[in-house]
Structure 1
Amino acid sequence: HSVGKTSLMNQYVNKKFSNQYKATIGADFLTKEVMVDDRLVTMQIWDTAGQERFQSLGVAFYRGADCCVLVYDVNNGRSFETLDSWRDEFLIQASPRDSENFPFVVLGNKIDMEESKRAVSQKRAMTWCQSKGNIPYFETSAKEAIN
């Protein structure tokens, strides 16, 4: 069950959305240049496999990351419940110097779906983020280019 990581990345970098779904195997990346404090920074955005059967292929790409974006589907409770294990797995594999303060961001994707299908409330997600050291939380739609 896809949460839309590849779609978010494509929308952010290329301003494109495709309805076609293709599971990410291993990892893929795109680059985007952004201005940060009047400096041009080249971001390398890595997209790793979300499906458990491909999960172990992504671990080599975690090392050296400066930030980790965790994505779940607001209409799929199970995808939200696995955030803990994804976060833990990332910290184990990336082994950052200061894991207590490593920057994470959480994205609740697919907010374009009808409200009645929603399985995870904004409040529940924000409470989880606060419990993990105030992780920034945003709700998104790759399809509608929201956020």
Structure 2
Amino acid sequence: MINMTETKQLKLILIGDVNVGKTSILHRLIFSKFTEEYKSTIGADFLSKTFYQNDIITHIQLWDTAGQEKYWCLTSAFWRTSDAVILVFDISNESSFRNLNFWYKQFKSKSINPDGTEKQLPILLLANKSDSLTRAVDQSEINQWCTDHKVNLYYEVSAKSSINIKESILKLVEVIIEQDKDSDNEQFNDSPDEETSSITLLGTSKKHDNTNPNKPSTSSPSSCFNCK
């Protein structure tokens, strides 16, 4: 009997302030390394990664965008082909958290379908530098922000210490695939009023990414915090 493996193509976009670690997060995920040297991203660039989990091969384009407003050049057409957005802030830098409102409004204003309706992209919020000794943002503030902006996926991560980098991305991919299945089922059943089940995400944990990056194991939902 032939085992038919499903293949997915996904485009994920990282946005957030300059120096919050967007590029470092990608380098940790793709190359399993971290560098202290800082180089600002100009415009946008992307790296690719292939994951295999639950009998699905997922090819991901991860777009690294500039954290400076003057380089913000992403058009509606760019966002139209996106599958999710990853908002990043530095947990040791309060202003990077406050500026999440700016980045949220930016991508919301660009995420427009051809018919003029707003594209509902899944959102993953990452608090980078979770291994920092200085925490500048209170957890209750983060919870409230997630509630206000209807963000259900939140992870505290560290590109430097390899904490929750792969787990968070894999969880986002899982959510995207599940939403696609729900959407397909709704269209098949012709029942637009059917509600999809909510995601239950509990707790935070720090796990080091020592597994094979090409064949990651399925991450536990306990590695992220429920922002509801």
Match of 1:95 in 2: 112
User: Which structure has the larger Rg over C-alpha atoms?
Assistant: 2
Asked whether the 8 Å contact 2:111–2:118 carries over to 1, the reply is: no
- Gapped runs of 5+ residues in structure 1? none
Deviations along 1:14-68, one digit per CA (max 9) or x if unpaired, are 111010000000111111111254110100000000122322x344643311000
Whichever structure has more helix as a proportion of its residues is 1
- Corresponding residue of 2:131: 112
- d(CA) in 2 for partners of 1:78, 1:96: 31
Bigger mean CA deviation after superposition, 28-37 or 98-107: 98-107
Instruction: Choose from 19, 39, 44 the match for 1:27.
Output: 44
TM-score w.r.t. the length of structure 1 is: 0.88
- Kindly indicate whether the alpha-carbon contact (under 8 Å) linking 1:67 and 1:102 is maintained by their aligned counterparts in 2: yes
> How do residues 1-147 of structure 1 correspond to structure 2 at under 5 angstroms?
1-55=18-72, 57-59=73-75, 61-96=78-113, 99=118, 101-114=120-133, 117-147=134-164
- 2:25 is paired with a residue of what secondary structure? helix
| Greater RCO structure (CA 8 Å; 6+ sep) | 1
Distance 1:21 1:126 in 2: 30
Q: How much is the aligned-residue C-alpha RMSD, in angstroms?
A: 1.9
Structure 2: which amino acid aligns with 1:39?
Answer: I
The one-letter amino acid of 1:50's match is G
| Runs of 4+ residues over 6 Å off in structure 1 | none
Gaps of 5+ in 2: 1-17, 165-228
The C-alpha deviation readout for 1:84-130, integer Å capped at 9, x for no partner, is 1101111212324764742111000011211xx21112221122112
For the residues of structure 2 that align with 1:18 and 1:133, how far apart are their CA atoms? 33
Aligned AA for 2:121? F
Alpha-carbon distance change, 105 to 42 in structure 1, aligned in 2, over 3 angstroms = same
With normalisation by structure 2, the TM-score equals 0.59
Q: Percent identity?
A: 40
Is the partner of 1:62 in helix, strand or coil? helix
C-alpha distance in structure 2 between counterparts of 1:142 and 1:77, whole Å: 18
Aligned length: 144
